[in-house]
Amino acid sequence: MTAAPLRALVVGAGGQLGTDLLAVLGPSARGLTRQDLDVTDGAAVRAAVGDWALAVRDLPGRMSIFNAAAWTDVDGAETAEDAAYAANATAPAHLAIAAEAVGARLVHVSTDYVFAGDATAPYEVDSRTLPRTAYGRTKLAGEQAVLAASPHAYVVRTAWVYGATGGNFVKTMARLERERETVSVVDDQRGSPTWSLDLARGLADLARNAPAPGVYHATNSGETTWCGFARAVFEELGADPERVRPCTSADFPRPAPRPAYSVLSDAGWREAGLAALPPWRAALTAAFATVGDALRV
């Protein structure tokens, strides 16, 4: 498979994935932050995408739009589902329609929360979706809207993402390591921690290589629990991982139930000729070696 150059637009460019996408795609990529574009405004989206397409029309490469914008407050969505729906379903539909209008391919990022979270083997792209939270329902609606509006679009599900920008689990554990002698972390939820930079590289490869459109899964490979993830963070910080104590989900009830099992199979990704993302533990070491100061704040 021969990769082609890209003419890229990144929506949600101020977040952790959007920031890394811009870094991976290079200076020719254009980024739009939340302040630059209200993605829930269809007319504004069409205008912004149209202006970008006009500006890059004479440049070489495939036209690709990366949607890294989303409502990510999982608990908050339980009491603000309409607002979450606007960001996670209505906005992607606007982007898909606008992308089709200018001949660009949309790469839309989704989540493991579209599944019930009760599996015992990694979810395939065609596994039954059954979201159990408002966040998951709105993200599934976004997937469906994108695929209905654009036959050329990609929907990429990922999970447990952390990076240098914004708040995330790694930064929380680094803070708690400084503040507490011991930390209790749930040990009955399994998933695949995913470094946003690795994910960004994978999304860029997807757009450049342009396999068949549709749904894909992309996470760092392997799996662990949140407790195992936290202990790995402590190891990277030079702290004793035994200071992280396992507990159950029942010990930390949340407004939105977390999936007990969030591992996503990347079989379809690899079958499309795309390189698997690195193992999660090696990725965490690489993240600390690359952006460790930002993760320790």
Assigned token pair, 70: 């989303």
Residues 6 or more apart whose CB falls under 8 angstroms from that of 291 comprise: 163, 164, 197
- CB-based contact 127:88 (threshold 8 Å): no
Exactly one of 85, 135, 154, 216 is catalytic; which is it? 135
Q: What is the DSSP letter of 74?
A: T
Burial class (CB in 10 A: 0-12, 13-18, 19+), 27: exposed
For residues 239 and 242, what is the distance between their CA atoms, to the nearest angstrom?
Answer: 9
For residues 163 and 14, what is the distance between their CA atoms, to the nearest angstrom?
Answer: 12
For residues 154 and 212, what is the distance between their CA atoms, to the nearest angstrom?
Answer: 9
To the query of whether residue 135 is one of the catalytic residues in this protein, the response is: yes
Closest by Cα among 269, 61, 44 to 155: 269
Identity of residue 57: R
For residues 32 and 45, what is the distance between their CA atoms, to the nearest angstrom?
Answer: 11
Active-site residues, by number, are 135
